[in-house]
Amino acid sequence: MPSRYKPPIVCWKSDLSKGGGPVKRHANYVACATDNYLEIYRKRKIIGPYIGFFLLGGGEISVILAFFVCLNQNNIPWLAVILSFIASLGGGLVVYLTFFTLLFGHYAPVSNPIRFNRKTGKVYLYEAVAMKWMFKAWPPRRAFKDLNKFHIKVYDWENFHGVLQGSTVVNVKGGSFESYTLIGAACEPKSYKVIEYIYIRETDCFTMDWHWICHFMGRNTDKPLDQAGLEYVDYKPWDAKTFMQVKPKLKVTSRQIEGLDKASKAGSKEELAQIEQEYELTKTVYLVE
């Protein structure tokens, strides 16, 4: 049976329902859980781009040196010179792409969190603008200007759905295994037409992560969290305690951003309406620079 969401995501495995009972929390991705909101990490690995850039950069330098060595040799066939030149160009393109990934890993926050507010039925997504360039074959020059910009997007929970993405990974030591990723599908109201697919996390427990989120958002939302069969989670000491301060070096003083932080913590729809009126929150996408 194909996905009901259009267009379907690449490597689609299954559409996830919003049913299911409570499951054990996985502490490595839940940053905070209160009576009002749930915040989850979306952490990136930042060591790989550094290692890849220096290894590929070193290889590119070696290829360029080999090209000039070939030019200074009288008995080297022109085919070898041409091949080394083409290899240096190809290596340069790869280094360029790796360099952009390195800059993104350096400037973008390690965690791009998502907040789910169970009292207001809203989903608040914090995402780097440069994410849209990450999987492009050739990021344009303006992509580098987006490295320190971020979007805060607001969706209704009723239009936010879960999709399981999977792929087969070949083990270098032999054999293979399935790798799964939990993806959020933000859709247009009362339809399955996707506005965007949102990476949530890699998962080894299939649908349990999604069921935990659904249980938080849809079960006994008028009761304290512990009476709804869930447990409280507080931020770890080394984590930022404000949704809009996931990157301490980024000084965000916008009144609108301050309002979004309060709105994502609101304890009722009435309180949310007051905050939105006070801070003039009328958009669904807000730019942070």
pLDDT at 95: 73
Could you report the per-residue pLDDT of 45-78, keeping only the tens digit for each? 666 666 666 666 666 676 666 666 666 666 667 6
pLDDT at 202: 78
Low-confidence ranges of the chain (pLDDT < 50): 246, 248-249
pLDDT at 248: 47
Could you report the per-residue pLDDT of 244-259, keeping only the tens digit for each? 554 544 555 578 888 8
pLDDT at 192: 94
Contact call for residues 71 and 152 (beta carbons, < 8 A): no
Report how far apart, in Å, the C-alpha atoms of 118 and of each of 33, 35, 98, 180, 214 are.
10, 8, 40, 26, 10
pTM above 0.95, yes or no: no
What are the residues facing 37 on neighbouring strands? 117
Contact call for residues 113 and 40 (beta carbons, < 8 A): yes
